[in-house]
Amino acid sequence: MVKLKPDTAKTLLALHGRFAVSLGLALYVLVVTGTSSVFAKEIADWSSPLATLEHPRLPVGLDQGLRAAAATVDPRYLADVSAYSGAGGRIVAFFHTHELRPESGKFEEIGVELDLDPRSFTVLERREGWSEDIARLNAAPGLASFITQLHVRLHIPAPYGLLVTGVLGLALMVAVISGFCMHRHLLRDLFKRRGGGVSLLAARDRHAGAASWILPFALVLAFTGSYFSFTDSVGLPALARVAFAGDEVRLVEAIVGVPPAEDARAAALADIDAMVVDAGRRGRTVPNFVLVERWGRRDARVSVFLEPAEGDLTSPTYVYGGTDGRLVVAKPDFGLVPSAGGKLIELIFALHYGNFAGVSSKIVWVGLGYGVSFTALTGLLLWCRRRAETPAWRRLNRAVHWVGFGLPLALAGTPYGFFPARAAGIADTQSWMTAAFIIAAVFAGALAATARDMTRVKYLLLGLTGVALAGLPLLRRATGGTDWPDALAGGLAAVVALDIAFAIAGIACFAAVWWQSRLATSRPA
């Protein structure tokens, strides 16, 4: 229980409400999309699986596969070569260098990206150009990428998108702290339920109860999210200016290390497979990313990144000499030597993404994330409901119903642009997903703007969301998606798990409509 003077309580209530009114809808979008992107990797595997036998993240034969692929690209793209396990089990190899892009006036990555079959290392797809254009044409992780980018920067161009999401993170912190201080009986609110049906008192208790349960998580989410947004857009540039006189190269060297002295003489690259196996043995876990710098030169080096071992938040990066294959250094995930700051950053990453205990922690994070979403939405609905006699607040109420119940429909509708485009062989699936998202959002907006009864709008949008979610497994299979036996044989359990999860989510939407309509008829508001 937090004891406050009456004037202080009124000030906090006003602060809490003003943040909710001014930024609540954008904050709701941020939390919903962020919660959905917790399973971004699983969504990518679900939407673009390969029907292959189960294989390690970086299977034996990677060395030969990369050498064969390197022979097909422009030698200037051999400055940096990265390889990792991509969506659905395919191996993604990116041969690239950094050049000045005329349109932006900045140095950007340019090169060739290949999707390789993990068994034969034959080329499945080839994309060439600037990294930003390649990402748009990479259809395999397209659905997961669309949701993730909507969360990270709301599809606003850099660096402004990160600044917006950073500010929203701070707004969430203000809302959480002010909400905590206003709870006169925090523990009692965990279980308090008064009134019934759709009464204002019952709605208030549902909001306060949900907020009480998720307050600590919401504070963690707000802080870590703001940290990530402001680190890239403000923190690192400011650190470079203050500590390194604006020299960003020196900043990067202080974080990742100084590269070895240049020696451009030609030299054969050591066996990549042997280095991957050695790193996995040393780290007692699975390698998932390889970076080869200065391929084919005497100063080449190979960095092998690993998944965290059981009980760890991160895993060391093992750096090898490119020509002799000998281990040069095992460096922590952040910085050059183990440090308290590095451990703190590891903790921030783990707490924000919820991946510190595998799928189980992700499931918990998704549940808590949707709890934050529910709290934000019910708070906005309560604020509008208490002021329903004012025209301006009635208009805001329409906007809350549009975004609150239209966003889930738009997200559920996005795959209906992705899968048909993918099946038709269209590389730029981003445009189709954007169109599907906008169509669903415009439909929801038109409905909210013209309907007389917002309760009916809520029921209809929830019902349509249920239809869209329940239909996703059928849509995926109808557009050439892998069937369950092949997916399970290939070790891609995410295909089966997400099919079932979407079907259950669709049924849950129908159940919510039935339950809400029953409450509405059982007792007058």
Band (pLDDT 50/70/90 cuts) for residue 1 is: very low
Return the top range by mean pLDDT from 7-11, 46-50, 72-76, 195-199.
Answer: 72-76
Pick from 230, 217, 212: nearest CA to 168? 230
The model's pTM is 0.83
Compute the distance between CA of residue 73 and CA of residue 51 in angstroms, rounded to an integer.
27
Contact predicate 254/245, CB 8 Å:
no
How far is residue 204's CA from residue 122's CA, in Å, rounded to a whole number? 59
pLDDT (0 to 100) of residue 525:
43
In sequence order, the 6+-apart residues with CB closer than 8 A to the CB of 365 are: 35, 38, 353, 354
pLDDT greater at residue 380 or residue 463:
463
Report the pLDDT value the prediction gives residue 55, as an integer from 0 to 100: 60
pLDDT over 70, % of the chain: 82
Give 82-124 pLDDT, tens digit per residue: 999 988 889 999 999 999 888 877 889 999 999 999 888 999 9
Tokens found for residue 110: 């340019």
160-182 vs 6-36: helix crossing angle, rounded to 10: 130
pLDDT digit string, tens, across residues 170-200:
777 777 777 666 665 555 555 555 555 555 5
- Are 174 and 19 a contacting pair, CB within 8 Å? yes
CB atoms under 10 Å from CB of 158, counted, come to 12
